[in-house]
């Protein structure tokens, strides 16, 4: 009898442990999901898979801190509270002191007895809710479905730059590419093509109006974001190689990534703008205020164009900032623009033409980084950061125009992708915005060597900006296509104009054996 009681006791303890483990996992997953939705409200599974395959080196510590404070710690607190209430049930009743009509009374709250079947039902419904919410926000089921269906779309439409003639003018212009973190046209007022009541980025709007900016309409609406192009590394690949990033599995021999997440080569079958310009005698230079190794950026640009990389650690090595300096992702854009001026003057003093690229970071999701230059115009901190970013990039362009090298320099400004900030449009958008308009990436070409045949009412994605940058430099591209992108200065139809966005995005989301074997892995 004693043995039987001991066995039953052990079984009961095991059941309680299992229930508590499941409870903790559900609380933890719920808090984590809420945090992900707040910080990465519009990413898909492509980015999640890519990020999980990449080392986290270079990621902002602010994200880890935010996750700990707003997700992990609340999960622990809720679980401890649940544990307290769970084990409190073993007592006969909860006794609370209450003041009723000026007198003290004991209030007995008898615990609710929950049957095992009821516990299983609650856990099942809770799990189902987590799965459905995650799927609704991150398109998990669509991603899985697309991996089960192969498409030949990329193979049929991809143009390898090595297979065509690209001719540059004798007097090769310099190119300055300013990739602005999360820059989208939605931040403008509604009458200018944005989605806000007040134009948050008036200086960027002025640049677009005064120069060449390609648009989806007669207003200032930029490029659509195709699947696999919606985060920083993917946005840079889209605009420099005309393709998305599509990553399915961990690779084996000859693959992009091994089981440790360390890659042998980044998109070895791809030829990018960097390689094209390197062959033309350009010095490729990329500057960023963060650790550029994050997301494989250093590997991609060093392997595709032999770029000189100048980032957070370069600034420390040159004594620009102290060794222990760290603000958000690295150092603020205010410093980045000043260091960029120095490097541009240095590059301009040499005999070879230069391709100078830079990536800002203050406007990253998570509320952005508010520097000393930021105004206090808006209630939302993120909008103030954007107002500051607009003024800074405008001032930087004005400085460029004053330099001797400007006469033979093309300036290209574009967002890398749309913002992952999930609430600023919901809270501050114009009453005219009905919530159904797709957000677009900002773009402008200044001092371009080509004249566009049509800038308005175009359907195009950020991949089309790849050959368009070369055309802005005066390059003549046979067939007007590179990768999956089409030169927007020409009258050639983009893939979005030929197939429509729905078909284009659907086909790009599917598995492509050509992409895997010819671009991603190669033998």
pLDDT of amino acid 223:
96
Note down pLDDT in tens along the chain; length 523 residues. Answer: 555 555 555 556 676 777 778 877 877 778 777 777 666 655 665 555 555 455 545 555 555 666 667 777 777 787 777 666 666 555 444 444 454 455 555 544 444 455 677 777 777 887 887 777 776 776 666 666 666 667 899 999 999 999 999 999 999 999 999 999 999 999 999 899 998 889 999 999 999 999 999 999 999 999 999 988 988 999 999 999 999 998 744 333 333 333 334 456 889 999 999 999 999 999 999 999 998 887 789 999 999 999 999 999 999 999 999 998 888 788 999 999 999 999 999 999 999 999 999 999 999 877 888 999 999 999 889 999 999 999 999 999 999 999 999 999 999 999 999 988 866 776 666 555 555 457 899 999 999 999 999 999 999 999 999 999 999 999 999 999 999 999 999 999 999 999 999 999 999 988 898 998 899 876 5
Task: Look at residue 124 in the predicted model and tell me its pLDDT.
Answer: 83
Tokens describing residue 295:
């997301």
Per-position DSSP letters for 181-198, written without gaps between them: TT-BGGGSBGGGT-SBSS
| Helix segments in 311-448, DSSP class H | 312-317, 333-348, 381-401, 424-428
C-alpha distances in Å from residue 426, one per residue of 318, 381, 423, 429, 430 = 43, 15, 5, 6, 9
**What does the pLDDT read at residue 61?**
56
- Is the separation of the CB atoms in 399 and 341 below 8 Å? yes
| Model-wide pTM > 0.85 | no
Q: Tell me, rounded to whole angstroms, the distance of Cα 62 from its chain centroid.
A: 16
Contact between residue 476 and residue 457 where contact means Cβ atoms under 8 Å apart: no
Helical segments of 40-161, H only: 45-53, 61-67, 73-88, 116-138, 140-147, 153-157
Residue of 343, 244, 241, 225 whose CA lies nearest to 289: 343
- For residue 1, give both structure tokens: 């009898």
- pLDDT score at 166: 97
Determine the Cα–Cα distance for residues 462 and 418; give it in Å rounded to an integer: 11
């Amino acid at each position: 009898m004693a043995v039987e009681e001991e066995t039953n006791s052990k079984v009961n303890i095991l059941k309680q442990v299992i229930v508590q483990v499941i409870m903790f996992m559900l609380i933890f997953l719920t808090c984590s999901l809420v945090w992900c939705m707040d910080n990465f409200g519009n990413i898909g599974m492509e980015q999640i898979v890519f990020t999980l395959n990449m080392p986290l080196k270079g990621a902002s510590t602010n994200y880890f801190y935010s996750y700990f404070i707003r997700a992990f710690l609340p999960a622990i607190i809720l679980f401890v509270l649940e544990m307290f209430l769970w084990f409190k049930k073993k007592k006969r009743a909860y006794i609370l002191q209450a003041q009723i009509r000026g007198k003290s009374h004991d209030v007995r709250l008898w615990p609710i007895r929950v049957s095992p079947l009821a516990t299983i039902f609650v856990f099942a419904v809770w799990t189902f809710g987590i799965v459905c919410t995650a799927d609704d926000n991150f398109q998990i089921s669509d991603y899985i479905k697309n991996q089960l269906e192969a498409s030949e779309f990329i193979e049929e439409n991809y143009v390898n730059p090595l297979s065509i003639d690209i001719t540059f003018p004798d007097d090769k212009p310099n190119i300055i590419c300013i990739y602005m973190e999360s820059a989208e046209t939605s931040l403008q007022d509604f009458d200018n093509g944005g989605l806000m009541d007040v134009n948050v980025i008036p200086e960027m709007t002025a640049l677009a109006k005064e120069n060449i900016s390609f648009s989806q309409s007669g207003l200032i609406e930029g490029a659509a974001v195709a699947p696999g192009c919606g985060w920083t590394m993917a946005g840079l690949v889209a605009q420099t190689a005309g393709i998305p990033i599509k990553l399915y599995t961990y690779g084996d021999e000859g693959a992009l990534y091994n089981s440790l997440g360390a890659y042998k080569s980044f998109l070895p079958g791809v030829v990018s703008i960097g390689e094209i310009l390197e062959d033309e005698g350009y010095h490729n230079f990329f500057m960023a205020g963060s650790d550029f190794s994050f997301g494989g950026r250093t590997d991609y640009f060093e392997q595709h164009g032999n770029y000189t990389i100048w980032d957070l650690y370069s600034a420390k090595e040159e004594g620009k900032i102290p060794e222990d300096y760290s603000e958000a992702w690295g150092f603020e854009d205010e410093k980045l623009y000043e260091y960029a001026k120095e490097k541009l003057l240095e590059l301009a003093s040499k005999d070879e033409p230069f391709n100078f690229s830079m990536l800002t970071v203050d406007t990253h999701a998570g509320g952005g980084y508010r520097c000393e230059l930021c105004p206090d115009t808006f209630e939302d901190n993120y909008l103030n950061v954007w107002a500051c970013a607009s003024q800074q990039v405008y001032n930087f362009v004005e400085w460029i125009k004053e330099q001797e090298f400007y006469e033979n320099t093309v300036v290209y400004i574009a967002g890398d992708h749309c913002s992952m900030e999930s609430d600023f449009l919901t809270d501050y958008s114009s009453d005219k915005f009905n919530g159904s308009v797709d957000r677009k990436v900002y773009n402008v070409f200044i001092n371009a060597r080509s004249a566009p045949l049509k800038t308005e009412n175009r359907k195009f994605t950020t991949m089309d900006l790849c050959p368009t940058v070369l055309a802005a430099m005066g390059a003549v591209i046979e067939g007007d296509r590179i990768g999956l992108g089409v030169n927007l200065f020409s009258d050639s139809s983009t893939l979005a104009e030929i197939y429509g966005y729905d078909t284009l995005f659907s086909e790009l989301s599917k598995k492509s054996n050509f992409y895997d074997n010819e671009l991603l892995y190669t033998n």
